[in-house]
Structure 1
Amino acid sequence: MSAEQDPVKLMKQEVGRAAAARVQSGTIVGLGTGSTTAYAIEFLGDRIKKGELKDIKGIPTSFQASVLAKQYGIPLTTLDEVDRIDIAIDGADEVDPQHNLIKGGGAAHTREKIVDALAEQFIVVVDSSKIVDRLGSTFPVPVEVIPLAMTPVMRAIEKLGGKPELRMGVKKAGPVITDQGNMVIDVKFDSIDNPGELEKTLNNIPGVLENGLFVGVTDLVLVGEVVDGKPVIREL
């Protein structure tokens, strides 16, 4: 089956396109990380090329996002240069009914949280497999940790009832290193009853930089699914 006909890929493209369509000229756009957001970045580039969008500046949340933005002709800026972010588009690993998220499957959640939380409007793009009744049902909570604090942080997390595991590289010997030069601990919790409290508690452990619980930041969720072999997009 060619990529053009692959319904899942088509659906991710359509969700990305729907998000990119909401961006207006003259705005600062937070550019998220991951496969669905990559399509949104591509379609933003298309809109700029066609002259539909003018005077856009992107703020990337990761090395991946900045490489894609350059590839698709989106001018980039930094948080030092701007006084606002109008809209941010990003993916998620889980979305609960209150629009709280777990993010960080790509280890970019610290920069994502900084950018997404600053945005006037934060749009999450996902496929329907990411929708859960409760956070933590399918995905661990990623925690970015300063390397020297690894062992004490893991002990503190165990005391909170979490099962911590150091994230290891794929096709790389040793641990995953974030864009900030830190490590990621993936933590499985039996149940996350209060994501907002847990987010604060984890971040209060000395040596933790940031965790992948995003509570109360999402404005809109665009969900893609494949129905009868065709992509369908709905708003949550």
Structure 2
Amino acid sequence: MSETSDPVTLMKQEVGKAAAQRVKSGAIVGLGTGSTTAYAIQYIGERLKSGEITDIKGIPTSFQATVLAKQYGIPLTTLDEVDRIDVAIDGADEVDPHKNLIKGGGAAHTREKIVDSLAEEFIVVVDSSKIVDKLGSTFLLPVEVLPLAMTPVMRAIEKLGGKPQLRMGVKKAGPVITDQGNMVIDVKFDSIDNPAELEKTLNNIPGVLENGLFVGVTDVVLVGEVIDGKPVVREI
């Protein structure tokens, strides 16, 4: 990635770097998805290349993470081959005061949830715009659905008080298709008062694979901010 003086990009790089610094030699690392996490993957690769850390294996959460890991020389493994994940680094679309998340802006939340939940330590990297008082206040809740169940699932979500819409592709005619070959419904809830309950209720709808509520999974949140034109990283 080219050098930049844009404060927001620099801030994302600093947050990614701060997360990458927490990876120790011999670690199995969950590699998340998104723009800030992409810098973490880059810096893990650079630390590996320089010999600062050794013997790292990555478990990617998406096609994007797989491509970046290969680009930056991080050897990959699979959940079939490991008995643990030491640390996972991933972004979020919203973070509440209890460190609960909404994820899925990149439609990779199913694989992210599998990997991030298995990790001994789950580090979330975000910028301060993602910090909210209550989940669902700025971001729609993504729900991954088997294509054949699309209509009944949308009806079931409406009964729960949600307003569902099928996520459509950008520069692509038709819907977004996940890495698993499914579709994504983005749901507006007026208020998500009990994220843990809603997570279970949505996942119990037949045809729903997984939703973007991550409850009780996060250990550390690294928040990037631009203060007086300079990037600052704080930990929650």
Spell out the pairing of 1:131-150 with structure 2 (5 A cutoff). Answer: 131-150=131-150
Match of 2:93 in 1: 93
What is the rounded CA distance, in whole Å, between the counterparts of 1:98 and 1:51 in structure 2?
A: 37
TM-score (norm 1): 0.99
What is the rounded CA distance, in whole Å, between the counterparts of 1:136 and 1:64 in structure 2?
A: 25
- TM-superposed CA distance for 1:3, in Å, is 5.8
Match of 2:122 in 1: 122
What is the rounded CA distance, in whole Å, between the counterparts of 1:5 and 1:33 in structure 2?
A: 23
For the residue of structure 2 that corresponds to 1:176, the secondary structure is coil
Deviations 1:146-177 (A, max 9, x none): 00000000000000000000000000000000
Match of 1:75 in 2: 75
For the residue of structure 2 that corresponds to 1:116, the secondary structure is helix
- TM-superposed CA distance for 1:4, in Å, is 1.5
Match of 1:110 in 2: 110
Identity %: 86
Task: Say if 1:140 and 1:186, in contact at 8 Å, map to a contact too.
Answer: yes
Match of 2:50 in 1: 50
Match of 1:26 in 2: 26
Q: What is the Cα-based RMSD across aligned positions, in Å? A: 0.7
For the residue of structure 2 that corresponds to 1:173, the secondary structure is coil
Read off the aligned partner of 1:104 and give its amino acid letter: G
Gaps of 5+ in 1: none
For the residue of structure 1 that corresponds to 2:122, the secondary structure is strand
Task: Say if 1:95 and 1:132, in contact at 8 Å, map to a contact too.
Answer: yes
What is the rounded CA distance, in whole Å, between the counterparts of 1:86 and 1:204 in structure 2?
A: 29
Match of 1:15 in 2: 15
Deviations 1:76-100 (A, max 9, x none): 0000000000000000000000000
Match of 1:41 in 2: 41
Please tell me whether residue 201 in structure 1 is matched to residue 201 in structure 2: yes
What is the rounded CA distance, in whole Å, between the counterparts of 1:153 and 1:25 in structure 2?
A: 44
TM-score (norm 2): 0.99
Please tell me whether residue 235 in structure 1 is matched to residue 235 in structure 2: yes
Gaps of 5+ in 2: none
Please tell me whether residue 152 in structure 1 is matched to residue 152 in structure 2: yes
Structure 1 stretches of at least 4 aligned residues deviating more than 2 Å after TM superposition: none
For the residue of structure 2 that corresponds to 1:14, the secondary structure is helix
Read off the aligned partner of 2:217 and give its amino acid letter: V
Task: Say if 1:3 and 1:9, in contact at 8 Å, map to a contact too.
Answer: no
Match of 1:166 in 2: 166
For the residue of structure 2 that corresponds to 1:210, the secondary structure is strand
What is the rounded CA distance, in whole Å, between the counterparts of 1:5 and 1:186 in structure 2?
A: 34
